Structure 1
Amino acid sequence: MKNIVKQIFLLSLLVAVFASCKKDENKNYFEGGTAPVLKASSTAAMVLDSTKKNNTAVVFTWTNPNYQFNTGNSSQDVIYILQIDTTGANFKNPNIQEVAIPKELSVTYTIKDINTFLSKLDVLENIPHNIEFRIKSTIAGNAVPLYSNVVKIVITPYLDVAVPIPPTGDLYITGDGTPSSWTNNPPASQKCIKVSKVEYNITMSFTPGFYYKFLSTLNNWQPQYGGKVATGGDIGFNMGGGSDPDAIPTPSIAGSYKVTVNFKTGKYTVVKQ
């Protein structure tokens, strides 16, 4: 009887080991890849001209990273991300620009495209800047990223904005999160400080659970600017005739906050004072 039990135990152990080996054989292991090689049609210094904004500025091309797995070449689609940043920031700039380019091995940008990237990087216009480009390749789930070489181009941008600036040159805050509640004729105390033609700010006391927007023209609901996130984000807008943007929720903690609206970058920030 003992021999029978012993034989059954050994047989069970052998089956378990065999199953484990089969399971390991079926696993898909990443074995490596080759960092893509990035090239630009030209790396000569660019002075961007708004009158030629639709002209081609640069064409980027790159090589396939050839992801390798134990089962052979990757059958997964490769996602390419063009990263754009200022020299010295090491692609860690909070304003870094990233553009996803699924599957393709090239992309063409107009003068306006490149200028928009630099506007969102928040660099000064009409002076040259050292700009760097590189490709990041990934597969599903942002897995196994590979980075290309860096291409450097000196670029002089012109003034452009990601969001249309207030046509009156004024900006007012309104909403139930403000003292005047919802009105298209807010008081002078709710007029924003104009830092430049592309940047405005105002410091307000906020209570959680309310909302606000920005208006440009007194006694008119458009142009109207808003957003979706209490801590800051992309500026939504309606210059007239379209759909109104979302109202910005007040912060979750009561207090005094400085709200900055930057039409050049198309972003607003909300910072506790």
Structure 2
Amino acid sequence: MKNLLTQALAVAFALTALASCKKDEDKATVQPSAALTLTGSANSVVLAQINDPQTAVTYTWNPVQFSLSGTEATKAPAVSYQLQVAKKADGFGYLGPNIIDAGTSTTKTITVEDLNKALNAIGITTGSPVQAFMRVAAVIGDDNHTFVSAPVAFTVTAYPACLPPNTDTWALVGPAGAGWPSGTPATEDGLTMKWNCALKAYTIRTALNVGPMKFRQNKAWAVNLGGPSAGLANGVPLTPGGADINITTAGTYTVKLAVDGSGTAVTGGMLTVTP
């Protein structure tokens, strides 16, 4: 009986090993058509929060197709691309907020805001020029490490990430911008301004039309600011419920709004509008 049991176990082990070997032989392997090569439109970038919507740098790379081999291979896998940022050429071990998705395209224009977010996510030194590295990855499934380009160095001056001092939001409203809010989703927000840590004010760089404008808090008229229309480039004081502010020459302007107080306790502010 003992011998029969031993023989049965031996046969079972052999069959299991054979199945394992066969599975390894049949497993599909992935082969890229070419090595990835990354090129940037600039190798030195200075980032400023006021320029958040603008282009910081554009990266391009060659397309890569993948072929499968092995008896389990069916069809070539779908490929997408990621740009990955690191402080060192060999520092791509952690990948999280420092990934900039590029979809299936072979080019990606990165805004000032998106690049700065990725750099802050890896703890880059801000306020002075430092070296960072970018690479592109061809991603299949969840694998964002295997098929990557050589890192490309660039010099960047980033600004520190920060949060506004309170939860208030402010928007520029009126025909000088996107029109008076009508209660519909398309116009309710007006031109939303962002908190600028360096200036300690809400700012926006945008095209303005000839016409009136005001500033309102939290998508409502309960707290709004207006004031004089003359001398905007030098700064004018604003008061709660103040007069419409008129833009007399259409153009692209930087609008800076410093607010005194918060919530329902806003007492005024200072507005500067410069080309």
Q: Shorter-chain TM-score: which interval? A: 0.3 to 0.5
Give TM-score scaled by structure 2 length: 0.44
Q: Give the structure-1-normalised TM-score.
A: 0.45
